[in-house]
């Protein structure tokens, strides 16, 4: 039981680092595995993350965390700009807001697959409704500009397996990079 709790801590810790190093942190795109997609990746020790999406103003996306070459956790999401805001320049500003949001909030203390519950900055406001835990979750996020919803995403995700088979679990967990206070 203790090892599974620690595994949860590792997945959460690694997914936060990966998110900040890729889309939220303006990470570099890599060669996509699928035609028509844009992809970003991050790896550390036995952990690997890939963010894969297609579309721009409206998109469908997938984030996957692998541990020891096994897909371990996934977040799927889709949506995009509201129909009345299909404008590339305004979309760039909205996506800049989204990148700030994805790097903000309580990610260090609570499970947060996207952004915080709420964040406001100037005329921009972000809201996220989340149900569930790292193991199984769903939610909805929206960006509001001057009291008008301009962007939405629905998302679902969780562990890819019912029980993660992890030989040498304690050894591997020590290498996940968790700060000593979380071990």
Check residue 9 and give its pLDDT. 77
Contact between 177 and 168 (Cβ < 8 Å): no
Check residue 69 and give its pLDDT. 87
Check residue 156 and give its pLDDT. 97
Q: What is the 3-state secondary structure (H, E, C) of 26-89?
A: CCCEECCCCCCCEEEEEEECCEEEEEEEEECCEEEEEEEEEECCEEEEEEEEEEEECHHHCCHH
Question: Which pTM was predicted?
Answer: 0.82
Residue 29, Cβ neighbours under 10 Å: how many? 13
Check residue 106 and give its pLDDT. 65
| Distance (Å, whole) CA 9 – CA 21 | 18
Ranges of residues in the chain with a pLDDT under 70 are 1-7, 105-109, 162-183
């Amino acid at each position: 039981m203790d090892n599974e709790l620690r595994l949860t801590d590792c997945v959460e810790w690694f997914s936060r680092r990966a998110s900040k190093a890729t889309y939220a942190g303006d990470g570099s795109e890599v060669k996509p595995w699928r035609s028509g997609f844009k992809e970003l990746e991050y790896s550390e020790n036995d952990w690997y993350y890939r963010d894969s999406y297609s579309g721009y103003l409206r998109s469908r996306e997938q984030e996957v965390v692998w541990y020891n070459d096994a897909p371990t956790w996934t977040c799927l999401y889709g949506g995009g700009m509201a129909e009345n805001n299909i404008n590339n320049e305004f979309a760039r500003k909205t996506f800049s807001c989204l990148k700030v949001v994805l790097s903000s909030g309580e990610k260090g203390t609570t499970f947060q697959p996207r952004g915080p519950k709420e964040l406001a900055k100037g005329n921009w406001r972000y809201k996220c409704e989340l149900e569930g835990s790292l193991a199984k979750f769903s939610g909805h996020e929206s960006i509001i500009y001057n009291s008008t919803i301009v962007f939405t995403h629905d998302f679902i995700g969780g562990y890819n397996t019912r029980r993660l088979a992890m030989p040498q679990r304690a050894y591997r967990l020590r290498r996940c990079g968790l700060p000593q206070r979380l071990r």
